[in-house]
Chain A
């Protein structure tokens, strides 16, 4: 593995974050010492509180708003230390749950804040193309018949594009769709029709019949995007999907690593 690969490795992120937390708690930040009754709000702490505010509100706090945040911080700190002093963190189911959640969060936090590279998103897209098939586009014409026999008769001998445009039964369904993503075709014609469409060649000849919830269609596909869905257009969706998959994977992996070190005896 190259250094670059190491930097990408979730386990490394996990351990690095753990180390950071350790350093932060023991050396860098304010040590939480239940016996200390001094709370110092230094510039670094103020900056941190201001930043947290800004991240939520999209602007820096006013002096009064920052003072309020500091007051809130001090109050929490006092109560927190007193709670520790009283040992209230022991045997508390909620505390236990929150700590578990925090461990999961530690594993996934890097994914939450990560900006994936284009290459990562591309790779994710390639591995999950089937999920984006609804964006693939198709152009077709269709005519609707009430039953299969009529549709077969309608098809007989009609192979050219000039076939009567008003053949088949009258319907509010579109007779043609151009460059339509499959999800749009499905919204109008239903799942069965889209499945049937997939089996027909895009040779500009009339084929079928293809069944749908409405009846039987003969169909002429004039174009079908040879390319799979366009990555650029799908990028926002892929980024969301990548992020949620990444979070799940990192939590899973982090747990697997920790779990490895335990022996678990379950009574038979």
Chain B
């Protein structure tokens, strides 16, 4: 007897299908495609479009188990600014809508927990007949806490390759996935409004050997005419080369485009950015080229921590260490602890440096990625604002008033707590307008940046003849015509490159403390080096640079009220910066980090709102400087010398 429960979803799926199909007839054809030729585009990218490329709904195996009952439609409505009712009952709304959303449910076991939950108990007991599945079933029905414990066990089972057969029957899983995928892409078209909101197809591919996180979000450029010709593929027990094969196959078959975004390198135990192939053999140029082409962007900051750099990797960077606590302890389910030798393969800055070394050897840089943030929220709600944070999953929505102090381990061991979660991660895409194609193309050319939630406008250009005078004219045109934007490449001409850097605060948020350039390069001996330069900051006359660096901006946060004031910092910082340590023939990258003044974290808002005390490390961590990371600009060597 076949031990599955997919059939029980039949009735509800039919209803959902009808809903999805009903709108199709009425859809404007501008909505169903990739958005090309639908709106008037600006000559140059006109503003950063804000989005989340990593949102889970009740179709994700773990999200449903954690309790979420919001589906893709609620997720889309919420992202574009509508009020929805959160799973735990309260009203939820973004203060400002997002411009785009990628729904990225786990392809592995897509819809599986929902199907299990909806099945009658007798069916699970007698037909499926697996004790573990029945126990999870009972735990899920017992209440939210039981459900969360069941999911923790399920994730551990997935990481140790011991999922019950009922979850892995490929044929039934395929049918379930087919139904959900096709329903969803119909829905995405319905919510896709060129010029206003881009509803983008995607899924999360969840490879995690032994619990080491190698997850990617797969993001499509196309509308339903093309995405209907494919289906999400599973990640568990496969290899990343198989993912790239799938992506290449999609592009070949449909003429569409697709890319993959690695994330949570911080819980990969060094496997995300290795110096070798996955099997330990030397990396080949072919592998490096395929990786660079398929994965142009990395998600560097999200709720489960920040992967920019680790204090042990960047000991001279006084601002390193944001969002590292808790996550640095081990891999995703904490089934294996991290050791410091692993960090270089787990963080973005060291990976960018490794990319330079590998390029020197192979002639191609596998880790030449741009950077974005996204939420990875499992609540159906793309929230990244500190004062409006709906948690990592439904088990830590604001309805759980002491969520900040609760253990929040995905696995079964101790070590991670609610306050380790960041209310964070949005992606900013410099595009000429808001369509699927424009947003995707910005990702593809890496003209994107990450923020930990606030919407600062950060723009950089790299070139060789920029001067202060460029600010007086049309500097954006100058930037594009005489240089390259973030994500671009300059070829070494024997002179130091100059960056035009402009940072505007979030118009409705906190002032800026400073702008820094992070430079990474290979020195004459081929060793990787990094340095952080403070290039412009607020009140420069009152905050001189000393041997110890620029003095701190101050701190206006009232710990009893969770408030701050913009009496310190600056609303806008601009500068023209020329690399003082340039050396001829150097391989290098430059990216910009923008820091806000200190503001309350979500934990402090919770403490004030719900009237409890944060203690110990949670209290120390209740105020932070939120930030933006731009994609780098690379200084490349002419081909002949490689």
Q: Which residues of A contact B (CB under 8 A)?
A: 52, 55-58, 72, 75-76, 79, 83, 86, 88, 92-95, 98, 101-102, 105, 109, 112-115, 135, 166, 170-173, 183-184, 186-193, 212-215, 235-237, 239-241, 243-244
Contact = CB atoms under 8 A, between A and B. Distances in A.
Contacts of A187: 47, 50, 96, 99
B170 interface: no
Contacts of B571: 213-215
A241 B22 CA distance: 14
Given A56-B182, A93-B141, A109-B15, A83 B27 contact: no
A200 B95 CA distance: 24
22 contacts: A52-B17, A58-B182, A72-B7, A75-B7, A83-B120, A92-B121, A93-B141, A94-B117, A112-B18, A170-B472, A170-B574, A171-B572, A172-B572, A173-B572, A187-B99, A191-B96, A192-B507, A213-B508, A214-B504, A236-B28, A240-B77, A240-B191
A56 B16 CA distance: 10
Contact of B196 (A214, A237, A243): A237
Contacts of B99: 187
B505 A214 contact: yes
Contacts of A244: 73, 77
Nearest to A83: B122
A239 B23 contact: yes
Given A88-B120, A95-B120, A244-B73, 7 more contacts: A57-B178, A112-B22, A115-B25, A170-B472, A173-B504, A187-B99, A243-B23
B127 interface: yes
Contacts of A105: 15
A170 B13 CA distance: 57
Contacts of A212: 507
Given A83-B122, A215-B571, A55 B508 contact: no
Given A75-B7, A172-B457, A172-B459, A98 B118 contact: yes
B57 interface: no
A55 B21 contact: yes
Contacts of A215: 571
Nearest to B507: A190
Given A93-B141, A192-B508, A56 B196 contact: no
A191 B120 contact: no
Contacts of B325: none
Contacts of B26: 115, 239
B17 A113 contact: no
A28 to B, nearest CB: 17
Interface residues of B, number: 60
Q: Which of A93, A102, A240 has the most CB of B within 10 A?
A: A240
B193 interface: yes
B47 A188 contact: yes
B14 interface: yes
B312 interface: no
Given A76-B7, A186-B96, A213-B505, A235 B28 contact: yes
A55 B18 contact: yes
A190 B14 contact: no
Interface in B102-126: 117-123
A109 B11 CA distance: 13
Contacts of A95: 120
B509 A213 contact: yes
B10 interface: yes
A225 to B, nearest CB: 16
Contacts of B472: 166, 170
A172 B476 CA distance: 9
A190 B504 CA distance: 12
Contacts of A98: 12, 118
Contacts of A186: 96, 507
Q: Which of A79, A83, A115, A239 has the most CB of B within 10 A?
A: A79
Contacts of A236: 27-28, 31, 190, 193
Contact of B190 (A79, A92, A93, A240): A240
B476 to A, nearest CB: 9
A229 B193 CA distance: 15
Interface string B501-515: 010111111000000
Contact of B17 (A56, A86, A115): A56
Interface in B167-181: 178-179
A56 B18 CA distance: 9
B209 interface: no
B15 A94 contact: no
A92 B125 CA distance: 14
B290 interface: no
Interface in B1-53: 7-8, 10-15, 17-19, 21-23, 25-28, 31, 47, 50
Contacts of B11: 102
B127 A79 contact: yes
A112 B73 CA distance: 13
The 8 A-B residue pairs with the shortest CB-CB distance in the complex, in nearest-first order:
A190-B507, A112-B19, A113-B22, A172-B502, A214-B571, A213-B507, A190-B508, A88-B122
B118 A94 contact: yes
Contacts of A213: 505-509, 566, 571
B22 A115 contact: yes
B76 to A, nearest CB: 9
Contacts of B96: 186-187, 191
Nearest to B76: A240
A92 B121 CA distance: 8
